[in-house]
Amino acid sequence: MKTEYIILKEAALTNNCPECYSTDGMVLSFKQKRVSSKFMVKTKNNIVENINCKKCESEIFPGQWTIDIERVYDYHKKTIPQTSGSLRFTKLFYLLLLLIIGIATVGYLYFFQPHLLSMSI
């Protein structure tokens, strides 16, 4: 299984970093988790948000947020698109499904309707 995050929105913040007090370099990002396998691609409906400071290379956790950071966070949270989770099957899944249905149909005809297979023209 392959896990990746889809970036819904990234925004540069001009607020002071609680760690290094720099006014530039903070980035707020909203991401959605996507899990891929050979048979399906599933997108989770929960959104992961985090704030990172590029200057001091630290993650700013919600307990460290100031009132200004919370206001900017609330504003940007309202602007992200409302996305729901989804489940999509791959071509391999559908190919195997058709193969299984075909084998089941031939097996049914062979064991329960043998007169249909032995018809001569």
| Residue spans per domain, the chain | 2-89, 90-121
Calculate the CA dihedral of residues 37, 40, 46, 51 and round it to 10 degrees.
40
Cα–Cα distance measured from residue 13 to residue 52, given in angstroms and rounded to the nearest whole number: 10
88 Cβ contact partners less than 8 Å away, ≥ 6 residues apart? 40, 41, 42
Percent of the chain with pLDDT over 90: 41
> pLDDT band for position 121 (50/70/90)?
low
Query: How far apart are alpha carbons 62 and 113 in whole angstroms?
Result: 67
What single-letter DSSP state applies at residue 17? P
Would you give the distance in Å from CA 47 to the centre of its chain?
A: 9
pLDDT in tens, 17-51: 888 887 788 999 999 999 999 999 999 888 889 99
Does the pTM of the predicted model rise above 0.85?
A: no
